[in-house]
Structure formats: C-alpha cells, structure tokens
Amino acid sequence: MSLPSSVTVHAPATIANVGCGFDVLGLCLTAPYDTVRLTRREQPGLVIHHLDDYDLPTDPSRNVAGAALLALLRAVPEPLGFEVEITKGIRPGSGIGSSAASAAGAVVAANALLGNRFSHKELIDMAMYGEAVASGVRHADNIAPAICGGFTLVRAVTPALDVLALPAPPLWVAVVHPQFEVKTKEARAVLPTSVPLALAVRQWANVGGLVAGFLTQDNALIARALEDYIVEPARASLIPGLGDAKRLAMAAGALGGGISGSGPSIFMLNKDEATARAAAEALGSVYRKMGIDFHLHVGPIASQGARVVNF
Amino acid sequence: MSLPSSVTVHAPATIANVGCGFDVLGLCLTAPYDTVRLTRREQPGLVIHHLDDYDLPTDPSRNVAGAALLALLRAVPEPLGFEVEITKGIRPGSGIGSSAASAAGAVVAANALLGNRFSHKELIDMAMYGEAVASGVRHADNIAPAICGGFTLVRAVTPALDVLALPAPPLWVAVVHPQFEVKTKEARAVLPTSVPLALAVRQWANVGGLVAGFLTQDNALIARALEDYIVEPARASLIPGLGDAKRLAMAAGALGGGISGSGPSIFMLNKDEATARAAAEALGSVYRKMGIDFHLHVGPIASQGARVVNF
C-alpha cells in the first residue's frame, strides 16, 4: 500500500488547567480548530505557508508547527520534506491552545503521511517543541488533549513524559474569548513561587476530586471540585469581568469553570447543550456591557483530538 | 421491631495519606481492628472500659471513642446512656489509624443501636471529635476509610465536610509497624509551612494520577503516582529504615508505598496476596537487621469499614 502524498488535519482548541488542575489537566474541544495541510515534497526540509491574517513567522524554527515538525524530522532516519499550509481557526493569544493546535495538527498530519509510525506519546513529545517556540516552555497541558482528545492528565514531564488520556464525561463547554491580550509571560509572572502547604492540600484534594468526578461522571462533584484556590486568584486581576462572567454563567446553570489556560478566555462546563448555550450568553453579556468585543464557542468535550479529515 | 440493646463492632486500621495524598486520601484495611461493644444503659451518659493494656483514659471527654459518642449524643433528642467496652487490636501510635478505629467503631455501634439513623457522613463528622482528642486536629483522613471502607478522598473539611467513598482496586497491603514512637505533633512540626509551586504541581499531578489509577485499576499508573514529593521527604528522618524498607519491598514486587499516616508504620501496595507477603517479609527484614522489634500486617484493601459483627 503506497502512502498518500498529502493530508489535511483539523486540530482543535483545548482548555488547559481546567479549574484546579494548573499545568496538568486538559480538555479537548470540537471547535474552533486550526486546519493543517501537509504535502510531501522532493527536497528535504520544511516550507511553511500561513493562509490566515495573523502574520505569524514562517521560518520553520520560529513557527510552532515548524518546530514540532523539525522534532519529528529528527526522529525519522530518511530525509523528508513537507510543504505546510496552516489556516488558523483559533486566534493566537486566546488562551484556548492556539499554538498547541498548530503544533499538534502538524505532527498528526506528518504521522498520517508516514503510515502512523509514532504513538500519541511520541507525537506529544514532538509537538511540545512548538510550545517552546510559542511560550518558552515545553509544556504539554494543551498538546496532550489536542492530540489525545477527551480529558488528559499530564502526570509528569520529567524525567519522562507521562500523559494519561482518560474518558471524558459527556459535558458541554461554553467559552468566551474577550478581545484583550493577556501575555503568557505576564500570566506566569503573577503566580506565587511558593504556596502555603494547607492551600496546596486543598488544591490537590480538588484535583483528586475533579479526576474522580470526571471518571465517575458525577456532575455535582465536578462542580464542587473545579475551584482553583491558587492560580485563578493570582490571575483574576488580569481578566476584567471574570468574577461577573463566572457568577452569571453559574446562575444560568453552568457547573463551574474559570480561566482557560492563562486567559483571557473563560470556560464553563455544563451538563448539556442548552445549558452551555445559556452559559455562553451569560458570559457574553458581561463583555457586551463592558464594551469589550468577544467571541463565543459552544460545543461538547471532544472525544478525539487532531484528526485527518482528508487525504 | 425493637432495637437491640447491645452490639459488637469491628473497627479496622486504615492508611492515611497513601503516598502523595497528604491529609486527603485514605484506605481501609481488614486487620488489625479494634473491637467496640456498646450496651444501652438506663442512666444517660457514657461509661467506658478498656479491655486492653494500653492504659488509655476512660473519662469520656478524654477518650477518643467517648468524645465521638458525646458528639453523637448531642445529635439525638432523647437522653441516652451507653456502656462502652473497647478492646484495642490496633496499637496506639502505630500510624495506622488506631484512634480513628475506636472513634469510628463507637459511633457505628451506637448508630446500629439507634436503627441506623445517621449517614456515613454524619458519623464521620462525629468521629472526628475523637481525632481532636487524640491529636488536637479534627481530621478525617483515617476516619473516612474507617467508616466507609475502600478508598476515600476527603475533598474538603471546611466549610462543609465532603468525603468521597470510591471503589477500591483489588490490591493487597503490606504494613510494617516498627516499635518506635513518632509523635504526631513532631511529625507535623517537621512539615514545611509552604512549598514551591512547581513541587505542589507535581504533587497534585500525582494525586490526580493515583485517583485515576485506583478508579481504572491501572497498577502501573498507581506505582508511578504513589510518590510523595513533599511530606515523606520531610518526615523520612523520623523513620529510620524507611528508604531500605521501601527499596526491598519494591524489589520483592510491591507497586510502591510510603509512610502510613504520620508513621512509624510503613505500607506497601501489592497486586496480590503472594506479593504482599513477600513485601511484608522484605519490610520486616530491614528492622530485624536493625534490631528493632516490629509487627507485620498483610491483607486486602477492605471494601467495608467498621461493621457490626453481632448483636
């Protein structure tokens, strides 16, 4: 069987942290998504085109998809060349895994062209090089759900990557992306370098509770366990409207939520589509009132991550 | 149907913390156990007898079972009196929930005599008064598994008690109780008051991983996730032989383990009985070599906590 010479992949947005799970938990969305098309080329190396207006670098080592693919090329013995066309459906800087999507989509596409010789874990490891280009840190909390789908726990990055892909509950996610910028660097800078042990204990009780809630599909437990005692309080001042948005979305029936990744997007988990739509409307109403433009996204947690849509 | 006038309860030992889950995770053992016999008496109030040699206080307000029963008596409208006979099968100060067992056994026994009018959650809340007598802290990490059995997560104590009773995996536990004393107060004093955020993140990744490992019965994940980065390193110097004991038990096939509660007991989780027996032998060999007396306990994780054995 000959391998195809080109492939198109949809690579979805993701929610990192998921309330209490700073740096370790992630959820996969169905939309928005980036579209990554890879075509084999005769000459070794990468040529990258962006079919969008975000003016992102196309030098492979400075492009998130490029850096991920360079890691993949280092892992294959044969010299390979790809032409890469990226259409970003996820706005950079939105806090819903825009860079992770491009990096994940690129390595999933390349893997499809290579007969799927790499495991999810190997692809995550490669795609993390894209995150290093985007934020300076090789983190996996968006990459893992972007590749595995569902609900992921990055149990360890060092000494060895250990990612758990867990079945996600049938929840719906409402996301608001208010149109202001939160720099990941700034969002990192406001974090405490150390935390009181008593607070850390409360946080890991919630992480354990949220994992149990997801695995046993206990919505009441999920609602109680989502709360983040450490990171969200530190970052709340970077996200105007956060408190009101959460309050109104919960009044509309949402289970709970918080800052998506390092923001500015805010996510809320919901028991069904109707509640998610009501929660999204509530989230949007806060920013409409503040005169801040916003985008809304509503969809179920996606059981599948970046996937081939055609060859 | 008339209610019985006396009842005997077996109240088992428990493992608090369970590796990474300081102050929140707990497991129930089948043995050793305390035996608590309650008999209704005409006069209101409590009369406590200890049928063991530990010289524990029998003044109800200073006895762990007594303090728990006084909390129960405050919750019933009618004036009640109980004669309480306690035979401790769990040595006080062993680190496997000795005080929790007596407190849990007492309220479970009283509840049986009252037609089981209280929920597990209410009984936990009452039995925590016994812990306050024993250690000054109304903690639930041993009480919860002693009452619910299986594997428990104390998600919150304040503002409201939130205990998750989760199905336990079919693992076997090996415990060594070396015969030296670790005072709970001292074990608390060596803890850091604050921890680096990066280390707290690694710890809550493990708590999430361990909960997922237990719920999905993934022994390899359980083995990876048991590790405690924060509390055990601080307490290791209080438990001579800890490092060798863990190392040898793991060489004998144990999945992992650590200090039980605040020690000095050490627990190891194992995939089956034969491995648990080999691990126990390995644990014992370390203390035999050191010339320190010890007791060994081997048994499955118990699905049931304190239970009526006869009326």
Q: What is the mean pLDDT of chain A?
A: 96
Per-residue confidence (pLDDT) for residue A107, from 0 to 100:
98
In this predicted structure, the answer to whether residue B100 has a pLDDT above a threshold of 80 is: yes
Q: Does B121 touch chain A (CB under 8 A)?
A: no
Question: Smallest CA–CA separation between A96 and chain B, in Å?
Answer: 20
Active-site position among A8, A30, A131, A275: A131
Domain coordinates in residue numbering, chain A: 6-167+302-310, 172-300
pLDDT tens-digit series, residues B227-237: 999 999 999 99
pLDDT band (50, 70, 90) for residue B186: confident
Share of chain B above pLDDT 90, in %: 93
Per-residue confidence (pLDDT) for residue B184, from 0 to 100:
75
Helix or strand run (H / E) with residue B34: strand B25-40
In this predicted structure, the answer to whether residue A1 has a pLDDT above a threshold of 90 is: no
pLDDT tens-digit series, residues B270-299: 999 999 999 999 999 999 999 999 999 999
Kindly list the residues from chain B whose CB atom is less than 8 angstroms away from the CB atom of residue A224.
155-156, 162
Q: Are B208 and A206 inside 8 Å of each other by CB?
A: no
Kindly list the residues from chain B whose CB atom is less than 8 angstroms away from the CB atom of residue A221.
155, 164
Q: What is the mean pLDDT of chain B?
A: 96
Is A21 in contact with A12 (CB distance < 8 Å)? no
In this predicted structure, the answer to whether residue A188 has a pLDDT above a threshold of 90 is: no
pLDDT tens-digit series, residues B106-129: 999 999 999 999 999 999 999 999
Six token digits for residue B91? 């040595």
Query: Average of pLDDT values for B24-28?
Result: 98
Question: Smallest CA–CA separation between B155 and chain A, in Å?
Answer: 5
* Nearest residue in B to A24, CA atom: B205
* Dihedral (CA of B182, B20, B252, B90) sign: positive
Query: Average of pLDDT values for A72-84?
Result: 96
Catalytic positions of B are 131, 184
pLDDT band (50, 70, 90) for residue B1: low
Nearest-by-Cβ selection for B204 from A191, A207, A216? A207
Per-residue confidence (pLDDT) for residue B113, from 0 to 100:
97
Phi, psi of B64, rounded to the nearest 5 degrees = -65, -40
Per-residue confidence (pLDDT) for residue B136, from 0 to 100:
85
Question: What does the alpha-carbon distance between residue B272 and residue B300 come to, in Å, rounded to a whole number?
Answer: 8
Q: Does B190 touch chain A (CB under 8 A)?
A: no
- CA distances to A79, A144, B103, B307 from B12, rounded to whole Å, are 64, 41, 11, 9
Type of residue at A39: T
Could you identify the residue written with the tokens 């400075």?
A: A62
Q: Does B17 touch chain A (CB under 8 A)?
A: no
The residue that leads in pLDDT, A131 or B186, is A131
Helix or strand run (H / E) with residue B300: strand B294-300
Share of chain A above pLDDT 90, in %: 93
pLDDT band (50, 70, 90) for residue A121: very high
- CA distances to B9, B131, B168, B178, B179 from B299, rounded to whole Å, are 19, 25, 13, 18, 20
In this predicted structure, the answer to whether residue A183 has a pLDDT above a threshold of 90 is: no
* CATH top class, domain A6-167+302-310: alpha beta
In this predicted structure, the answer to whether residue B224 has a pLDDT above a threshold of 80 is: yes
In this predicted structure, the answer to whether residue B214 has a pLDDT above a threshold of 80 is: yes
How many residues belong to chain B? 311
Can you give A91-129 as a three-state secondary structure string? CCCCCCCHHHHHHHHHHHHHHHHCCCCCCHHHHHHHHHH
Question: What does the alpha-carbon distance between residue B156 and residue A204 come to, in Å, rounded to a whole number?
Answer: 10
Per-residue confidence (pLDDT) for residue A101, from 0 to 100:
98
Beta strands in chain A (DSSP E): 6-16, 25-40, 45-50, 81-87, 151-156, 162-166, 172-178, 194-196, 256-259, 266-270, 294-300, 307-310
Q: Does A202 touch chain B (CB under 8 A)?
A: yes
Per-residue confidence (pLDDT) for residue B212, from 0 to 100:
98
ipTM of the complex: 0.96
CATH of domain A172-300: 3.30.70.890
pLDDT tens-digit series, residues B34-74: 999 999 999 999 999 999 999 999 999 999 999 999 999 99
Q: Does B51 touch chain A (CB under 8 A)?
A: no
Type of residue at A166: L
At CA B152, angle to CA B244 and CA B156, rounded to 5? 110
Share of chain A above pLDDT 70, in %: 100
The residue among A18, A161, A197 with the most chain B CBs within 10 A of its CB, best to mutate, is A197
Helix or strand run (H / E) with residue B50: strand B45-50
Q: Are B156 and A205 inside 8 Å of each other by CB?
A: yes
Query: Average of pLDDT values for A213-238?
Result: 97
